Amino acid sequence: MSGSLRTVGEALAERGVSRRAFLKFCSALASTMALPPGVAPAMAEALAKAQRQSVIWLSFQECTGCTESITRSHSPTIENMIFDLISLDYHHTLQAASGTAAEEAREHAMKAHDGKYLLIVDGSIPSKETAYYSTIAGISNYDMLMEAAKGAMAIVAVGSCAAFGGIPMANPNPTGARSVADLVKDKPVINVPGCPPIPVVMTGVLAHVLTFGKLPELDHLGRPKVFFGETIHDRCYRRPFYEQGKFAKTFDDEGARSGWCLYELGCKGPITYNACATTKWNQGTSFPIESGHGCLGCSEPGFWDKGSFYKPLSAGELGKASTIAAAAAIGVAVGAGAAMMSRSRQAKTTGGK
Amino acid sequence: MDLLNFARGPALQWSLAILVFGLAWRLTGILLLKAKPDFSEPRASGGFGGAMKMIMSRMWPKPEFVRGSVLDLALGYVFHIGLFLIVFFFLPHILFIKSLTGLSWPNLPNGIIFFIGAVSVAALFALLLQRIMTPVKRLLSNFDDYFSWFITTAAIITGLLAAAHVGARYETLLAIHILTVEALFIWLPFGKLMHTFTVFLSRGATGAAFARKGAAI
């Protein structure tokens, strides 16, 4: 996980990768990022000359799902990225070193590539006041992030926990968890949410930064528009059934078996921006809705606290019935009072007749 | 808390509470009013029959009045029926009602609902034009009429925009639609939209009184 001073071209030549194979790889990359195929030769040229990018990956309050996911990326594969495009200088799960040696590798990379390394974060971070909830090698997640952020060229917050706080930040948020963008204000942050994020979306975003040397166009939540520009619902293959008014009522009824829309079963596709319906998972095999389950909305902020996954989007959170009952009781009392006053006035006017 | 969660949560709870309070107040106040003393002998029995008869007979004007009011009536029917179909036969609305009452029924295809919505909006705008352009109607109209028209039309238009994803991100459009409907909930008991609950009540009461007096209904 070192040697980041070599260019990508040198690294490829060392591994015996032909120009044709590299162009093919760049075409796949361009396709993933929704760029025209004509960009591939320019990408190949830029990448071949580029130095392998030093990448430091910090994992905080997380479940390793994001790392599990990125290792399933097929275009580009994580192996392609590690061997050809990046120098992954620190990653808990993927690095061979452990303990002091691992921490030294991180510190060395931070010094050697100060101001130039790409910082990837997965997991949320306990805030400064509650920093003791999560530490690595005796250093709090908060301190490690703030120190590493200082020398980073940009930060990629991978997964909903790093991007929006995710499950650790769910009510009642016992550790005072925060997202990267909540804490780091002076560095560009790209959010790549999802629980976990789609593998090719993660590698595609990294490849974009490495290829073009700048951030992709982001939406108002800091997510790359190319992958988070449309809702799941907009691109869902079940959408025609929504328009036809055909909805599955249970997970195993005739409608569900016929592929009807899962809106009634709580699908959050209409309010979830992600590329699941287009890039899909497991090398384009399928995505959750295709497997028969509604979208959970995992790439949206606060998805864990938005009510039941199985409650239809239009059902609303009605709160306590006692509030409505109290409103009705007060209304009846006020109405009865108004009627009594009217009767009293009437009695005075008619002399009680 | 984002706008959609606010609309689906606290705003919904408060608007429903105000709606229920207002309905209970208005309906209790009306139902507990003392009837005017009537010292005459009833000329016919069957107040309930008279009420039902008038509810039905006033659905359409007498032949001599049809000519002058047929356009108003047609437009009124178009948007009232349209509104009924949109509210009660669009699946997301049925699911909302189901979450409130536990009751549900089959829905109509979205395409049909969108078409009905567009026709209803057109009818509402035609009625507004007519209200503004007819001197007598303009003179009779007040803030209540215009605001009730506005909130009803806004609820349908924001719903159509949300369904068509036009003008903003879907979750924003959906939140605006829900908030508009909640504004309608809040306004309903206190303005002329209360006729949703009192139209047949008042017409029936008049029919019963007419029947008692032996008047033609």
Would you call A233 an interface residue with chain B, using a CB distance cutoff of 8 Å? yes
- Residue range B177-196: average pLDDT? 97
The count of other CB atoms within 10 Å of the CB of residue A31 is 16
Residues in chain A: 353
Contact list in A for residue B99 (CB cut-off 8 A) is 311-312, 315-316, 318
Q: How far is B33 from chain A (nearest CA, A)?
A: 5
Strand, helix or coil for residue A55? strand
Pairing status of strand A189-192 against strand A135-136: unpaired
Would you call A312 an interface residue with chain B, using a CB distance cutoff of 8 Å? yes
Cβ-based neighbours of B200, under 8 Å, separated by 6 or more = B55
Q: What is the pLDDT of residue A353?
A: 64
Would you call B150 an interface residue with chain A, using a CB distance cutoff of 8 Å? no
**Residue that wins the pLDDT comparison between B167 and A58:** A58
Q: What is the pLDDT of residue B85?
A: 98
Scanning every residue of chain B, which has its alpha carbon at the shortest distance from the alpha carbon of A272? B171
Would you call A229 an interface residue with chain B, using a CB distance cutoff of 8 Å? no
Would you call A353 an interface residue with chain B, using a CB distance cutoff of 8 Å? yes
**Residue that wins the pLDDT comparison between B203 and A11:** B203
Is B157 exposed, middle or buried (CB count within 10 Å of its CB: 0-12, 13-18, 19+)?
middle
Q: Identify which of A264, A271, A334 has the shortest CB distance to residue B25.
A: A334
Instruction: Grade residue B39 by pLDDT with cuts at 50, 70 and 90.
Output: confident
Would you call B6 an interface residue with chain A, using a CB distance cutoff of 8 Å? no
Both tokens assigned to A300: 């949206």
Distances (CA, A) of A47 to A2, A71, A86, A217: 18, 22, 11, 20
Domain ranges of chain B: 3-25+67-213
How far apart CA A85 and CA A76 sit, in angstroms, is 10
Cβ-based neighbours of A295, under 8 Å, separated by 6 or more = A232, A262, A267, A268, A269, A272, A276, A288, A289
Q: Do A319 and B9 touch (CB under 8 A)?
A: yes
Residues B65-119: tens digit of each pLDDT: 888 888 889 999 999 999 999 999 999 999 999 988 899 999 999 999 999 999 9
Check if the beta carbon of residue A230 is closer than 8 Å to that of residue A273.
Answer: yes
CATH class entry, domain A8-228:
alpha beta
Could you tell me what percent of chain B has a pLDDT over 70? 100
How far apart CA B112 and CA B122 sit, in angstroms, is 15
Q: Tell me: pLDDT of B60 over 50.
A: yes
Check if the beta carbon of residue A227 is closer than 8 Å to that of residue A207.
Answer: no
**Segment-wise mean pLDDT, segments of 10 residues, chain A, 353 residues:** 62 76 76 74 77 91 93 76 80 88 94 95 96 95 97 96 97 97 97 94 85 89 95 94 93 94 96 94 92 96 91 85 94 96 87 68
Select the CATH number that applies to the domain covering B3-25+67-213 from these four: 2.40.50.40, 1.10.10.10, 1.10.357.20, 1.20.950.20: 1.20.950.20
- Residue range B141-154: average pLDDT? 97
pTM, rounded to two decimals: 0.82
Both tokens assigned to B190: 């206190």
Cβ-based neighbours of B44, under 8 Å, separated by 6 or more = B50, B211, B212, B214
Check if the beta carbon of residue A228 is closer than 8 Å to that of residue A299.
Answer: yes
**CATH superfamily ID and name for A239-305:** Cytochrome-c3 hydrogenase, C-terminal domain (4.10.480.10)
Q: Tell me: pLDDT of B148 over 90.
A: yes
Q: Please report the sign of the dihedral spanned by the C-alpha atoms of residue A295, residue A300, residue A303, residue A307.
A: negative
Q: What is the pLDDT of residue A4?
A: 47
Check if the beta carbon of residue B43 is closer than 8 Å to that of residue A352.
Answer: no
Q: Do B99 and A243 touch (CB under 8 A)?
A: no
What DSSP string runs through B183-210?
HHHHHGGGSGGGHHHHHHHHHHHHHHHH
Question: Which one-letter amino acid corresponds to residue B104?
Answer: S
